[in-house]
């Protein structure tokens, strides 16, 4: 019985990975209507191009802010364009960089942040202040580590308007430089995207909701109808909560795969990866230890366990212990198939594919990240980012926050 159970389980796993490979080769997960590549021509906008405000929050971003601001100032946008940057009480050289940019670009608006009031987290509060100074018909919130494609605004707004949406977001190109960025970041990005198919996210009747805080676009009146950042003032996942509110309130929104909209080096090295994802992963699972256990168990079974089993059985075979040939060869096939899927996935998405052999290392690191996030938040240790504790546990309801103190 265990023999046939093993054969059945391994065969099912092999079929799942084969299906993934076929889907990748056919681009089934990226329908053309929701894909904005670097060679995608911008969709025309009827009549006059609307005014656009690009809003950038910056806290201790001296390494990123100049390239971000320059890319925003140099957008090929035919309508009125303004760039608003909020320096959120930075303690590094961000302020000096912005001062130099103000000299070069007199039209650049730089605003100084202030301490959040009760119930507010830092980033939503910063964006709430910044948007009050923006005058555009469209508001485009982008993170300070983003570099906008010169045609990015035309691609994103043009496609958003074409599809009669009032809010949109995009999954841009991840720039990865260091070893651990390449081992973890692209695979975690693929995991998130794979778990949130565009066909479901963009279905107004489907409960699945996802947006990317690196790139959030709103028509101004839609942003106001959703309650702005005040409506999600205590949220670590403000992007996802905006998407959920949009579906609940009947505001049409779209999520695009958009490497032709922007690129982003999200985290620099293992330390930032560790702290950055520790603040996001447990809230993304609704602060549920049960969900964390289920997700990580499935991840381990589907991505790491085949390599563990192959290593164990190869060792037994090498030391003279009998191992069923069918099981051993199935394990070899699955592990080889996983490496092929990983390499092909990186290649077709424009990433380096040569580190395919690090796949089990990357997935094990992701599993550990899930549990680090869960443990830090549930124990009250909190997740720290940019020198602030940004997540200590499930937020209270908005009414409680408003009535506290």
User: Does 228 share its domain with 316?
Assistant: no
* Residue 296 belongs to a domain: yes
What does DSSP assign to residue 235?
A: -
Q: How high is the pLDDT of residue 279?
A: 83
- List, in sequence order, every residue forming a beta bridge with 86; answer none if it has no partner: 57, 111
User: 3-class SS at 310?
Assistant: helix
* Residue 205 belongs to a domain: no
Question: What is the rounded CA–CA span in Å between residue 231 and residue 248?
Answer: 13
Burial of 207-224, coded b for 16+ CB within 10 Å and e otherwise, reads ebbbbbbbbbbbbbebbe
Question: What is the rounded CA–CA span in Å between residue 24 and residue 349?
Answer: 9
User: Does 92 share its domain with 237?
Assistant: yes
User: Does 91 share its domain with 232?
Assistant: yes
User: Does 237 share its domain with 336?
Assistant: no
* Residue 207 belongs to a domain: no
Q: How high is the pLDDT of residue 400?
A: 34
User: Does 252 share its domain with 326?
Assistant: no
- Domain boundary among the residues 266, 296, 311 is at 266
- Domain boundary among the residues 199, 232, 266 is at 266
Distance between the two ends of the chain, CA-based, in angstroms?
63
Q: How high is the pLDDT of residue 391?
A: 55
Tell me the two tokens of residue 293. Answer: 């256990």
Q: Which ranges of the chain have pLDDT less than 70?
A: 1, 381-405
Q: How high is the pLDDT of residue 1?
A: 47
Q: Taking the CA atoms of 332, 334, 339 and 343 in sequence, report the sign of the dihedral they define.
A: positive
User: Does 15 share its domain with 50?
Assistant: no
Burial class (CB in 10 A: 0-12, 13-18, 19+), 205: exposed
User: Does 290 share its domain with 142?
Assistant: no
* Residue 200 belongs to a domain: no
* Residue 187 belongs to a domain: no
* Residue 278 belongs to a domain: no
User: Does 60 share its domain with 153?
Assistant: yes
Query: How far is CA 380 from its chain centroid?
Result: 25
Question: What is the rounded CA–CA span in Å between residue 244 and residue 252?
Answer: 11
- The domain of 375 spans 2-27+286-391
Q: How high is the pLDDT of residue 355?
A: 94
User: Does 298 share its domain with 363?
Assistant: yes
* Residue 12 belongs to a domain: yes
CATH number for 73 = 3.90.550.10
User: Does 19 share its domain with 136?
Assistant: no
User: Does 225 share its domain with 342?
Assistant: no
C-alpha closest to that of 108 among 127, 85, 128: 85
Looking at the 3D structure of the chain, how many domains does it have? 2
Question: What is the rounded CA–CA span in Å between residue 319 and residue 311?
Answer: 12
* Residue 186 belongs to a domain: no
**Largest Cα–Cα distance in the chain?**
77
Tell me the whole-structure pTM to 2 decimals: 0.88
User: Does 130 share its domain with 146?
Assistant: yes
Question: What is the rounded CA–CA span in Å between residue 228 and residue 399?
Answer: 16
Q: How high is the pLDDT of residue 173?
A: 94
Q: How high is the pLDDT of residue 401?
A: 31
What does DSSP assign to residue 183?
A: I
């Amino acid at each position: 019985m265990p023999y046939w159970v093993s054969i059945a389980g391994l065969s099912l796993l092999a079929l799942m990975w084969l299906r993934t490979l076929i889907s990748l080769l056919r681009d089934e997960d990226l329908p053309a209507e929701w894909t904005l590549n670097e060679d995608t021509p911008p969709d025309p906008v009827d009549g006059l191009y609307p005014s656009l405000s690009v809003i950038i929050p910056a806290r201790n971003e001296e390494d990123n802010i100049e390239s971000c601001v320059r890319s925003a100032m140099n957008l090929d946008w035919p309508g009125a364009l303004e760039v608003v940057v909020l320096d959120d009480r930075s303690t590094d050289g961000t302020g000096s960089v912005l001062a130099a940019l103000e000299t070069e670009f007199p039209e650049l608006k730089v605003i100084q942040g202030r301490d959040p009031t009760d119930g507010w987290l830092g980033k939503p509060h910063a964006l709430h202040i910044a948007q009050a100074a923006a005058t555009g018909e469209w508001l485009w919130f982008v993170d300070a580590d983003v570099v906008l494609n010169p045609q990015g605004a035309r691609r994103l707004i043009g496609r958003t308007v074409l599809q009669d949406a009032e809010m949109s977001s995009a999954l841009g190109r991840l720039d990865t430089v260091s070893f651990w960025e390449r081992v973890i970041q692209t695979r975690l990005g693929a995991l998130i995207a794979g778990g949130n198919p565009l066909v479901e996210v963009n279905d107004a009747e489907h409960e699945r909701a996802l947006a990317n805080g690196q790139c959030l676009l709103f028509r101004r009146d839609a942003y106001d109808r959703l309650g702005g950042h005040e409506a999600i003032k205590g949220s670590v996942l403000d992007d996802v909560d905006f998407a959920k509110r949009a579906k609940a309130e009947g505001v049409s929104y779209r999520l695009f795969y958009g490497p032709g909209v922007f690129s982003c080096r999200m985290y620099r090295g293992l330390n930032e990866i560790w702290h950055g994802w520790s603040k996001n992963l447990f809230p993304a699972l609704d602060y549920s230890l049960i969900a964390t256990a289920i997700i990580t168990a499935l991840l381990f079974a589907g991505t790491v366990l085949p390599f563990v089993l192959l290593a164990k059985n190869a060792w037994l075979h090498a030391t003279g212990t009998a191992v069923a040939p069918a099981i051993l060869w199935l394990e070899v096939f699955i592990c080889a198939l996983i490496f092929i899927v990983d390499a092909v996935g990186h290649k077709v998405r424009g990433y380096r594919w040569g580190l395919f052999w690090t796949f089990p290392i990357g997935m094990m690191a992701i599993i550990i990240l899930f549990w680090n996030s869960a443990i830090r938040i549930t124990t009250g240790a909190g997740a720290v980012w940019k020198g602030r504790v940004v997540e200590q546990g499930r937020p209270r309801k908005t009414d409680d926050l408003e009535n506290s103190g």
